[in-house]
């Protein structure tokens, strides 16, 4: 017998898959050049979403037409993505929103500016919290 939570998580994952997102359980590194800070930001965000908020999480989630999301997370109530960018401008933000959120099952996107992330691990983890759900 499946719990309501289990069914909700399954349904959210299937909706993402049916709309073209390659949702896998494995975390993957970016196929291009990725700085250590970018990788750390992505992993801290995923850890926060999974262990603090209970989301299911996938890294470097690809879509044939929309591109690759750094962190995709789905839960009982909503699906979100996190993009870690270095010094993003308005064009980058708009492009990411158009590709990842508009017309998809993704409810919200958070863009984390890697240049603003603290260097110490605990400060960076608290910063991820401040940049995501503390703003809602």
**Quick one: pLDDT band at residue 136, thresholds 50, 70, 90?**
very low
pLDDT of 35 over the 80 cut: yes
Structure tokens at 128: 């991820």
Q: Are 52 and 129 in contact (CB under 8 A)?
A: yes
pLDDT of residue 26: 59
Mean pLDDT of the chain: 88
pLDDT tens column, 43-98: 999 999 999 999 999 988 888 899 999 999 998 889 999 999 998 999 999 999 99
Structurally, the chain folds into a number of domains equal to 1
- Give mean pLDDT, residues 103-119: 95
| Pairing mode, strands 108-113 and 79-85 | parallel
The answer, yes or no, to whether residue 100 has pLDDT greater than 90, is yes
The mean pLDDT of 89-112, rounded to a whole number, is 94
Number of Cβ atoms within 10 Å of the Cβ of 120: 9
Q: What is the CATH number of the domain that holds 73?
A: 3.40.1350
Pairing mode, strands 108-113 and 56-63: unpaired
Phi-psi region of 54 (alpha: psi -120 to 50; beta: other; left: phi over 0): left
Give the pLDDT mean for 4-30.
81
Q: Looking at residue 114, what is its pLDDT?
A: 96
Cβ–Cβ under 8 Å, residues 60 and 68: yes
What's the domain range around 17?
Answer: 4-135
């Amino acid at each position: 017998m499946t719990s309501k939570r289990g069914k909700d998580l399954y349904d959210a994952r299937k909706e993402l898959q049916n709309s073209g997102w390659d949702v896998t359980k494995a975390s993957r590194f970016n196929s291009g050049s990725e700085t250590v800070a970018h990788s750390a930001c992505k992993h801290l965000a995923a850890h926060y979403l999974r262990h603090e908020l209970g989301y299911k999480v996938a890294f470097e989630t690809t879509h044939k037409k929309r591109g690759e999301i750094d962190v995709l997370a789905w839960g009982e109530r909503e699906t979100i993505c996190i993009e870690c960018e270095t010094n993003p401008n308005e064009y980058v933000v708009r492009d990411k929103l158009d590709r990842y959120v508009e017309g998809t099952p993704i409810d919200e996107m958070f863009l984390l500016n890697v240049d603003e992330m603290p260097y110490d691990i605990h400060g960076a983890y608290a910063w991820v919290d401040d940049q995501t759900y503390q703003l809602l």
